[in-house]
């Protein structure tokens, strides 16, 4: 049997990166893309796509 993994860690990291993304969109619009890899990575891990 496979070991059950908790996805809550990935969802918390996704929310953290999403907050950073929103902050960068509001205050430093030209740098918002720096947070995109974190948002996309932890969303995919939370959804168990990768």
Number of neighbours of residue 23 by Cβ within 10 angstroms: 12
What is the predicted pLDDT for the residue at 11?
95
Residue positions counted in the chain? 50
Quickly list DSSP for 21-45.
HHHHHHH-GGGGGGGHHHHHHHHHH
Q: pTM of the predicted model, to two decimals?
A: 0.83
Going residue by residue through the chain, which has 50 residues, state the pLDDT in tens, using 9 for 90 and above.
445 568 899 999 999 999 999 999 999 999 989 999 999 999 999 999 98
pLDDT digits (tens, 9 = 90+) for 27-40: 999 998 999 999 99
């Amino acid at each position: 049997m496979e070991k059950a993994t908790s996805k809550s860690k990935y969802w918390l990291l996704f929310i953290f990166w999403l907050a950073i993304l929103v902050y960068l969109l509001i205050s430093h619009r030209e740098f918002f893309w720096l947070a995109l890899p974190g948002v996309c990575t932890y969303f995919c891990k939370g959804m168990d796509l990768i």
